[in-house]
């Protein structure tokens, strides 16, 4: 069921041009049909509205709980849309002009947003559709709606999603979708359609149909990954009476698998994606989401009790540094940090380490090179601390100090808790056999 957004198509006379108002408009149309199960497909600005609706659906809003799928085509992301200001100004300049100018500019707009020329009939239909738009709605989107920041409100969605992007889409192509839209979708597939610009439904309707069919046949569902394995001997030590109950509970929590749809609290989903990419280069630990664990620590306010005086509080420093790292990637490589290959990411992180990162305020840089050096030192320390707190890491380094005392030390079968043998290569009899072997080498 097609639904025109307020100010466009058959709804050109309908008011309400904010993202929230547009979402209300579509929600009313869904409730009128009252489907038990439904998907939402949105193109361009419609994708941002679709994401806002998906959040409402997942939060249990009446009439929307049957949502099963999201289809985002050349979509505007939850973050402010990355439109260069000169292009935005040009699009605003002609919408109130005389009819001849409006028609000429509308045609130029269509031609600038396709990978190849449309056939005459399709192009004429597209131009007519642009001219039907209410000028107030056109301006409202460019001046306000496209700049609305829904990043935190949308968060991370669990609804299976298909992202379609044209390889020739200047503003909302594959890089923008990977950097700004994909971080909001725990279960998604990003498909790039070669040779296509922003108007994918008009340029390649068959490719769109094929993508929809493939999505329905095989919805993406990222499984919960098994956590890093804890050696059996070490697991036995954790379960023994030598380990304090509170410590045992803490270790169990650290050993639990990470949620693939983790919704960050201290940083936003885009920043979380940048942090994951950086940590994958700094300390790659399979099957462990260090970034999510670090976000939880930042949100709790817990830390090691100190920070560099040049940096703001930890959560603020991370938000600023991650945006600065991304801005530096865009300045140096013309692409977001998350879309770069490993050597280029390593090169930028090395510049952070040296205090030589070039920071561009215009692209979102918020920390200077020296403060980025301090932050990168903190990042490495935080990564090591988080990993070494995991029982799998404690087992790997042979740390048996967790067995220094249980809840009722006087009742431990072999006497007092703690360590008795203090010489080199002299493990206690109760220490895991694997650790004794390591110590005896």
Q: Is residue 336 part of a domain?
A: yes
The Cα–Cα gap between 6 and 136 comes to: 10
Which pLDDT value is given to residue 305?
Answer: 78
Q: Residue 67 pLDDT more than 50?
A: yes
Is residue 44 within 8 A of residue 198, CB to CB? The reply is yes
Q: Is residue 33 part of a domain?
A: yes
Which pLDDT value is given to residue 365?
Answer: 72
Kindly report, residue by residue over 312-350, the tens digit of the pLDDT.
999 999 999 999 999 999 999 999 999 999 999 999 999
Last residue in a domain, options 365, 380, 395: 395
Strand segments (E) across 8-160:
38-43, 67-73
> Per the structure, how many domains does the chain have?
2
Q: Residue 410 pLDDT more than 70?
A: no
Q: Residue 361 pLDDT more than 80?
A: no
- Is the pTM of the predicted complex or chain greater than 0.95? no
Sheet holding 67-73, edge to edge: 38-43, 67-73, 161-166, 188-193
Which pLDDT value is given to residue 438?
Answer: 47
Last residue in a domain, options 164, 190, 217: 217
Let me know whether 367 and 306 are in one domain: yes
Tokens of 315: 């959560």
CATH number at residue 173: 3.40.50.1820
Q: Is residue 180 part of a domain?
A: yes
Q: Is residue 159 part of a domain?
A: yes
Let me know whether 126 and 200 are in one domain: yes
Q: Is residue 227 part of a domain?
A: no
- Lowest-confidence segment of 52-66, 72-86, 245-259, 402-416 by average pLDDT: 402-416
Confidence of residue 200 (pLDDT cuts 50, 70, 90): very high
Which pLDDT value is given to residue 77?
Answer: 98
Give the rounded percent of residues in the chain with a pLDDT score beyond 90: 81
- Hey, CA dihedral for 49, 52, 54, 57, is it positive or negative? negative
Which pLDDT value is given to residue 39?
Answer: 97
Tell me which residue range forms the domain holding 260. Answer: 232-395
Q: Is residue 12 part of a domain?
A: no
Let me know whether 242 and 210 are in one domain: no
Q: Is residue 359 part of a domain?
A: yes
Q: Residue 373 pLDDT more than 70?
A: yes
Tokens of 136: 């107030």
Let me know whether 101 and 23 are in one domain: yes
Q: Residue 436 pLDDT more than 60?
A: no
Mean pLDDT of 133-158: 96
Last residue in a domain, options 165, 191, 217: 217
| Mean model confidence pLDDT for the chain | 92
Give the rounded percent of residues in the chain with a pLDDT score beyond 70: 95
Kindly report, residue by residue over 259-296, the tens digit of the pLDDT.
999 999 999 999 999 999 999 999 999 999 999 999 99
Let me know whether 63 and 204 are in one domain: yes
Let me know whether 127 and 50 are in one domain: yes
Let me know whether 239 and 120 are in one domain: no
- Tell me the CA distances in angstroms from 57 to 32, 83, 262, 314, one per residue in order: 16, 29, 17, 33
The Cα–Cα gap between 22 and 297 comes to: 36
Let me know whether 289 and 385 are in one domain: yes
Is residue 403 within 8 A of residue 243, CB to CB? The reply is yes
Q: Is residue 441 part of a domain?
A: no
Confidence of residue 414 (pLDDT cuts 50, 70, 90): low
């Amino acid at each position: 069921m097609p639904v025109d957004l307020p100010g466009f198509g058959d709804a050109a006379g309908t008011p309400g041009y904010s993202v929230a108002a547009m979402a209300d408009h579509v929600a009313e149309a869904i409730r009128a049909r009252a489907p038990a199960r439904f998907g939402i497909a949105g193109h361009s600005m419609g994708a941002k509205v679709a994401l806002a609706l998906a959040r409402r659906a997942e939060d249990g809003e009446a009439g929307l709980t049957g949502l099963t799928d999201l289809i985002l085509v050349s979509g505007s992301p939850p973050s402010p849309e990355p439109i260069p200001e000169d292009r935005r100004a040009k699009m605003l300049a002609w919408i109130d002009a005389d009819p001849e100018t409006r028609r000429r500019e509308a045609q130029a707009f269509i031609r600038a947003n396709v990978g190849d020329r449309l056939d005459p009939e399709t192009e004429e239909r597209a131009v007519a559709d642009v001219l039907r738009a209410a000028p107030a709605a056109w301006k409202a989107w460019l001046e306000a709606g496209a700049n609305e920041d829904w990043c935190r409100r949308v968060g991370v969605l669990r609804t299976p999603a298909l992202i379609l992007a044209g390889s020739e889409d200047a503003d909302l192509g594959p890089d923008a979708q990977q950097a700004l839209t994909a971080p909001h979708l725990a279960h998604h597939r990003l498909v790039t359609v070669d040779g296509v610009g922003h108007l994918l439904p008009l340029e390649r309707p068959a490719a769109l149909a094929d993508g929809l069919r493939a999505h329905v046949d095989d919805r993406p569902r990222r499984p919960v990954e098994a956590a890093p394995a804890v050696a059996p001997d070490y697991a036995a030590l954790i379960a023994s009476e030598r380990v304090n109950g509170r410590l045992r509970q803490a270790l169990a929590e650290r050993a639990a698998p990470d949620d693939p749809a983790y919704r960050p609290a201290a940083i936003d989903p885009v920043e979380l994606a940048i942090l994951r990419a950086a940590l994958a280069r700094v300390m790659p630990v399979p099957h462990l989401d260090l970034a999510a664990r670090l976000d939880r620590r930042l949100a709790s306010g817990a830390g090691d009790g100190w920070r560099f005086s040049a940096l703001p509080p930890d959560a603020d420093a991370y938000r600023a540094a991650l945006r600065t790292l991304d801005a530096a990637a865009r300045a140096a490589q013309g692409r977001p940090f998350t879309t770069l290959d490993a050597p280029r990411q390593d090169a930028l992180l090395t510049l952070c380490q040296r205090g030589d990162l070039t920071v561009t305020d215009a692209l979102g840089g918020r920390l200077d090179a020296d403060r980025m050096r301090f932050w990168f030192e903190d990042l490495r320390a935080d990564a090591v601390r988080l990993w070494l707190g995991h029982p799998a890491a404690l087992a790997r380094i042979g740390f048996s100090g967790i067995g220094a005392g249980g809840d009722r030390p006087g009742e431990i079968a072999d006497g007092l808790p703690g360590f008795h043998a203090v010489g080199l290569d002299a493990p206690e009899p109760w220490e895991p056999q694997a650790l004794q072997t390591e110590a005896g080498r």
